[in-house]
Amino acid sequence: MRLSKRVETITPSSTLAITAKAAELKAQGYDVIGLGAGQPDFNTPDFIIEAAYAAAKAGHTKYTATGGLSELKAAIVGKLKRDQNFDYDPTQILVGNGAKHVLYLLFQALLNSGDEVIIPAPYWVSYPEQVKLAGGVPVFIATAEQNHFKMTVADLEKTATHKTRALIISSPSNPTGMIYSKEELEPIASFCLKHNILIISDEIYEKLIYNGNTFFSIAQLSERVKKNTVVINGVSKSHSMTGWRIGYAAADAGLIKAMTAVASHSTSNPVSISQYAAIAAYNGPQESIETMRQAFEKRLNTIYPRLSALPGVTCIKPQGAFYLFPNVRKLSDACGFSSVTEWSAALLDEEKVAIVPGAGFGMPDYVRLSYATSLENLEHALDRIEHFIKKHR
């Protein structure tokens, strides 16, 4: 079958691929420990599920406004006010089928052919592919572990061109868990304002912050910066609602209108009953977020020392999200593998531990392990990794 050139340039999501492979092995009866998935392992809080059920029973099972119910937009405006003291108008909010879809709509609405989007590496796997699907060109800034995987203005100066349309910031980052401070964001925001570069601030891990670290949104710097920023967020990670597919953008009303037009000819509205669930999530009690956060923090603090002590491994301690991103290149070399991707594939084959090779995140010497699974699973996974290393070294 002859396919479009557009689709031939993209690679399928490596995180979803590893999750699918792990599920396939599980279905064959293998005892697989999956550390590939990017989703909390907790169930959605009951009161949210009940709100969805009540909405379905009340007949809210029809199309809604494309960009989301006005009650949900109001709940999101309320959330943004509560958490960051932001003042947004409902016309500046679009609700889509998860933050991933909202980002897709954004690039479709924003980019002309050849427009460049700066993406610091390591990056979330979907950013470059979505930019390419919109006809844009992803331009990468390589960051280093010793600089906590953070870009600086000097990097931006070297990378930006007259074609640069936007910069993506993922903080807390998937895959590194690093968080940009207010002081680090200030010069980045000034540079973007000066050069008319739109800031895309992916804040999906905002609520998952550990060990006394704090979150700061770049849009909090000033009204001017806020106007030049698209804030992306959603309920997937904060409320353990990945399957419900609700995410949002908060941005300039003209951009939101254009994104809504794209949605109106592709997906229409996000699932009606999920929208009612999200209203409950944002307007209801927020305690479950803290319960989940504490569980992640405990896992991180338990598992991190053991992982970083493995021979030939370096790993920076994450400040947020729920991933560890160690460099395993030396270890993989010592085990006789020609690449870290091969090393991870062998780990899955021989020990049935699924982790994601770093190549998909733009860092082929690294791997990503998700600790969104029980402590028991994490301990077992490390036992198996240690066994694997002993066998091959």
Quote the least distance from Cβ 391 to ligand PLP, whole Å. 32
Minimum gap (Å) between residue 329 Cβ and ligand PLP = 24
**Which residue, 39 or 283, is less far from ligand PLP as judged by CB?**
39
Least distance between ligand PLP and beta carbon 234 (Å)? 4
Rounded to the nearest whole angstrom, what is the least distance from the CB of residue 161 to ligand PLP in the complex? Answer: 25
For 135: left if phi > 0, alpha if psi spans -120 to 50, otherwise beta; the answer is left
In terms of CB distance, is 92 or 176 closer to ligand PLP?
Answer: 176
Q: What whole-number distance in Å separates Cα of residue 143 and Cα of residue 123?
A: 10
Least distance (Å) between residue 168 CB and ligand PLP = 9
CB of 170 to ligand PLP, least distance (A): 5
Q: CA-to-CA distance for 110 and 198, rounded, in angstroms?
A: 10
Q: Which residues of 129-164 are buried (b: 16+ CB within 10 A; e: fewer)?
A: bbbbbbebbbbbbebebeebbbbbbebbeebbeeeb
Query: 84: left (phi > 0), else alpha (psi -120 to 50), else beta?
Result: alpha
Contacts with ligand PLP by CB under 6 A lie at: 38, 98-100, 124, 170, 174, 202, 204, 234, 236, 242, 247
Taking the C-alpha atoms of residue 72 and residue 90, their distance in angstroms, rounded to an integer, is: 9
Q: Is the peptide bond before 90 cis (omega within 30 degrees of 0)?
A: no
Which residue, 177 or 326, has its beta carbon nearer to ligand PLP?
A: 177
Nearer to ligand PLP, 38 or 320 (CB): 38
**Residue 136 or 234 with smaller CB distance to ligand PLP:** 234
Which residue lies nearest ligand PLP, judged by its C-beta? 98
Residue where the block lists tokens 């030939």: 312
Tokens representing residue 233 in the block: 């967020």
Q: Give the helix ranges, DSSP H, for the chain.
A: 5-8, 14-27, 46-57, 70-84, 99-110, 126-133, 153-159, 182-194, 223-227, 253-264, 272-283, 287-308, 329-334, 340-351, 375-392
- Kindly tell me which of 170 and 260 has the beta carbon lying closer to ligand PLP: 170
| Closest separation in Å from C-beta 347 to ligand PLP | 22
Q: Which is nearer to ligand PLP, 159 or 240 (CB)?
A: 240
Cα distance between residue 368 and residue 365, in whole Å: 10
